[in-house]
Amino acid sequence: MKICLENVTKIFAKSGKNGQEVKAVDDFNLVIPDGELIGLLGPSGCGKSTTLNMLCGLEEPSLGKIYFGDEDVTNMPPELRQVGMVFQNYALYPHLSVRKNILFPLENLKKEKKLSKKEMEDRLNNVANLVQISDLLERKPKELSGGQQQRVAIARALVKMPNVLLLDEPLSNLDARLRLNTREEIRKIQRATKITTIFVTHDQEEAMSISDQIVVMKDGKIQQVGRPQEVYDNPINLFVAKFLGNPPINVFEGKIIDGGLYILNQKVLDGYKINNQDVIVAIRPEGFIVDDNGSFIANKQSLEVMGREISVVANNDACVTKTFRALVQGEDIAKLAKEDIHFKLKRNKVFIFDKVDERRLNDE
Ligand code: ADP
Ligand code: MG
């Protein structure tokens, strides 16, 4: 099911005495192609859950329209939307068995949608198989691990055969290893069912690893939409550059003079078609090459040897944080003995931003 959001805005009215109006979602425009998995990514409070809640019908937009296919569902009640929703805290019924939890949405179908016992049993067995909990059907939620509970919640969302699957931070309550496994499983299930899926997370790595496209949000507004690698390689502003990547991108003060990029009065790269001005320079950790002829000079603080790679923790006066981190090849260890380390920079790992509005300056 293709999903289209047009100018969707949600304003929460003032609450309390000194309450302020909150624009939780601000002019959200997005087309989600049928069958894709979209990662909705942004810091806490940026409007991700509010966006999902409007898609499933728990909240009504203050402005704008939502379409599923060609149908305007903006004001359609949740139960008519054919949406499956999975929340962070599973929200299973504690007194019901896994079987009954999953069957619950089917038992409440009305009139012409009512299913026979056999149909319900078939659907139950199908989804239980899909999420691999067939042997747990008679247990109560408290007799399951967090990962198993989350799979039950996913099964319950899938059993209605929804057109759209919405997952709101579904992995946050799982420990690190389970988080990895479960995210791979969600990806597999999504590929198998081809249900258009929106996966909300504040974890950039999680979003990058499972999404066809990511949507980066800040303060209720979309910042950038694209394939994960595209967005990583071409961040539109400093916020997006800083939000994606681990270790995070390194930020420096710099200057453009006659097409040359200067950091601390050293020309580090050349050939930019950007007017002379002070700029913000962001360099990915993998953008540094140890080279005695390099003009980017940093003071070594420590080395973290990680086998294949070495993480060089260093500083210089242009860095806006105390230290920065360069990831270099393990075999460069011999070149890292000195206190002051010279680097050349990989141009495609260096991004230049306007000092005032922090938009990316086109460097071609
Ligand atoms: P996220 O899921 O990205 O963490 P939310 O969508 O939950 O963010 O919230 C976005 C903003 O809207 C926050 O500032 C939050 O405090 C506010 N908000 C969310 N729900 C309500 C509500 N029911 N009433 C008032 N403000 C709300
Ligand atoms: Mg949320």
H runs (alpha helix) in 14-145:
48-56, 98-107, 117-130
Is the beta carbon of 22 within 6 A of some atom in ligand 1? yes
Q: Specify the pTM.
A: 0.93
Give the CA radius of gyration of the chain: 25
pLDDT reported for residue 363: 65
Same domain, residue pair 137 and 257: no
Are residues 19 and 126 located together in one domain of the fold? Answer: yes
Number of structural domains in the chain: 2
| pLDDT for 91 | 83
User: For the segment 320-358, what is each residue's pLDDT rounded down to a tens digit?
Assistant: 999 999 999 999 999 999 999 999 999 999 999 999 999
67 lines ligand 1 (CB under 6 A): no
Pairing of strands 37-41, 196-201: parallel
Distance of alpha carbon 21 from alpha carbon 12, whole angstroms:
6
Gap between the Cα atoms of 295 and 273, Å rounded: 21
Cβ proximity of 325 and 288 under 8 Å: no
Looking up tokens 């580090």, which residue turns up? Answer: 268
Which domain range does residue 290 map to?
248-354
Please tell me whether residues 177 and 41 are part of one structural domain.
yes
Does 223 reside within a domain?
Answer: yes
Q: What is the mean pLDDT of the chain?
A: 94
Residue 318 and residue 276 share a domain: yes
Q: Whose CA is nearest to atom 5 of ligand 1?
A: 47
Which residue is closest in CA terms to ligand 1's atom 22? 12
pLDDT in tens, 72-107: 999 999 989 999 999 888 789 999 999 999 999 898
Domain boundary among 172, 207, 242: 242
- The response to whether residue 218 sits with its C-beta less than 6 Å from ligand 1 reads no
pLDDT band of residue 364 (cuts 50, 70, 90) is low
Cβ of residue 180 lying under 6 Å from some atom of ligand 1 = no
Could you tell me if 20 and 154 lie in one domain? yes
Contact 200, 227 (CB under 8 A): no
Other CB atoms closer than 10 Å to residue 62's CB: what's the count? Answer: 15
User: How crowded is residue 271: how many other Cβ atoms within 10 Å of its Cβ?
Assistant: 10
